[in-house]
Amino acid sequence: MTQAQRTILIVVVAVSCIGCDQAAKTIAQQTLPANESVNLLGDVFHLQYSENYGAMLGIGSDLPPEIRFWLFIVCAGCALTAILAFVLTNGKLNIGGIFSLSLILGGGLSNLIDRVLRGGVVVDFMVVVLGSVRTAIFNLADLAILAGLLAFLLSSIPLLSRSARVTR
């Protein structure tokens, strides 16, 4: 894959994630009733507007605003910059690795955009309930990050097995 193709793939995936997530958050913010849940698919899928000051599962939401700024905006921005540099420059990444890291980048950037534009808050609006199991409230950016992590692990398996064969 040429550098131009790599860059186009990264941009298309990341911008698609950001656009879809930001559009969904705007629709959720404008249409979901406050403090109510809209249940769909036989109560499996719930739409519920929420503002999250912390990380996943609200971790860190009780921290002082200055610490949240450094952790969730500055450190997250640095981590996303490192991911972008890695995916742009690592010639050993296969297309699956590039795609999966682009999903992580897009989801992370979308949540970072929320934090910067909404005073440190990330908009969440989805919950899945399967029997007695209920997920934390999340958004499309969180799904992109999770899908990217899983895809990266799966795309790395052939690399791991190939490198294990080489070292024997």
**Per-residue pLDDT, 4:** 94
Q: Say if residues 45 and 35 touch (Cβ distance below 8 Å).
A: no
Instruction: Please pick, among 21, 62, 114, 124, the residue that the annotation labels catalytic.
Output: 124
The pLDDT value recorded for residue 163 is: 54
Domain housing 73: 3-167
Phi then psi dihedrals of residue 133, to 5 deg: -95, 125
Q: Which tens digit of pLDDT belongs to each residue from 82-126?
A: 999 999 999 999 899 999 999 999 999 999 999 999 999 999 999
| Contact predicate 122/115, CB 8 Å | yes
| pLDDT, average across residues 132-147 | 94
Per-residue model confidence (pLDDT) at position 80? 98
* 43 given a catalytic annotation: no
Task: Give the whole-angstrom CA distance, residue 50 versus residue 118.
Answer: 13
* Domain count across the chain: 1
Residues 43, 62, 114, 142: which is the catalytic one? 142
Mean pLDDT of the 59-67 span: 92
pLDDT at 146 over 70: yes
Per the CB < 8 A criterion, the answer to whether 144 and 104 are in contact is yes
